[in-house]
A and B are shown apart, each in its own frame.
Chain A
């Protein structure tokens, strides 16, 4: 049944008894044309695009837990494409353009809210770097605006503009097309649309081993039994490294916990997404009214999916430095996702050292915003065995050639 105001109205009259399942709970079949490992936003999107773009519908998505339960459900929901290098722009703006029509395409409201994403600069040096960034984006066709302090104040009236602020605000830049989207809805929307193509989304199915024959992946062992397929995609975010080891190779990844927190809901006080270049914090206000915020990674590798208090305290302190008005609000929840961080903070896409296994890895702290792109290019690689031109620069080989796409370095920020 298509979702619409009319169907909602009709179902309202009949007590909502007629809504079908958003997706089935199918049993795992022994063989598929394609198998995607990881039922997060990226993996579900890959399955959807395999069917939609490539006509491959005999597909399974294997999810260790519940679909959308990894980083898709644990991030701060920010979407943006304000990147420095043209390769990154091509990738992330592809994702943002998909997002811009995704609700309609999936017939599921992902609540894309293009309220803008505003980076705040605190020193002359940062303002110069911001100019370098903004010009790069303008040259690359991304519409961003460099703002002076007054303009920032207009957008962020509660930011700390007092004379004795530890980090004075000298200006910033904003991408108005950036913003937030409802993270769960992205996973659910893709899942529903993939399921509608007949794709099997198999939850509670953990991949335990890889059957590699002659350097070629032919099948998987799972907690629900073996499965074979013509092509495989690896899209398990924080666990990509662990699964790669099972398949017999290492990846240039380290898995860290990335924390996020929300406050209790308050009436709207923050109408854009704000990021500070001094404290590394980012904050937005959800449609429910909660402040959603985070900052840097926890200090050491972890698969524990929980944040540590001392890091959380630093994150909060960093936000209050910019928004002292929030001091009296309360943290309602604290959680963490496990992110797979490569050296240059850019994703690793395309072929793996094992034939037939394609990578969608290394999205690090920025995977949510790229969900449609991660899925689209993984589907492309799985279906064609080749890179899409947009994904090619993100090939694993760059670690040997040195052709990194190091956004932080390009933007003048050292790691």
Chain B
């Protein structure tokens, strides 16, 4: 059970959080991209083993989304930041 350092609330237990996937850049304007590029945004993932960029939401807490780097092989949390903050 992870102890996740919410950038607003501090460390809280994993069940309070929601995993939101890898950050993916939405193609703009979407109408102009190919089916393949749209699929790449929607479905294709790095799925790294090791350090992995993720977005999470402190759903049962402050409700805020944030960016977290986490090692998917060890579950170690490497960093968290609020959206828009420099990595």
Contacts and interface: CB of A to CB of B under 8 A. Distances in A.
Instruction: State yes or no: do A and B touch (Cβ within 8 Å).
Output: yes
B56 to A, nearest CB: 8
B54 A251 contact: no
Contacts of A304: 72-75
Interface in B15-38: 15, 17-19, 21-22, 35-36, 38
Contacts of B44: 250-252, 399
Contacts of B40: 250
A347 interface: no
A364 to B, nearest CB: 13
Interface stretch (A47-55, A225-233, A295-303): A295-303
A399 B38 CA distance: 9
A250 B46 contact: yes
B49 A308 contact: no
A253 interface: yes
A310 B15 contact: yes
Contacts of A342: 43
A309 interface: yes
A255 interface: yes
Given A309-B1, A400-B35, A400-B39, A302 B45 contact: no
Contacts of A252: 39, 43-45
A303 B72 contact: yes
Contacts of B17: 299
A241 B72 CA distance: 13
Interface of A: 239, 241-242, 245, 250-255, 299-304, 308-310, 340, 342-343, 399-402
24 contacts: A242-B48, A242-B49, A245-B47, A245-B48, A250-B40, A250-B45, A253-B45, A253-B47, A254-B21, A254-B22, A254-B45, A299-B14, A300-B19, A300-B70, A301-B47, A303-B73, A308-B2, A308-B14, A310-B13, A343-B42, A343-B43, A399-B39, A399-B42, A399-B44
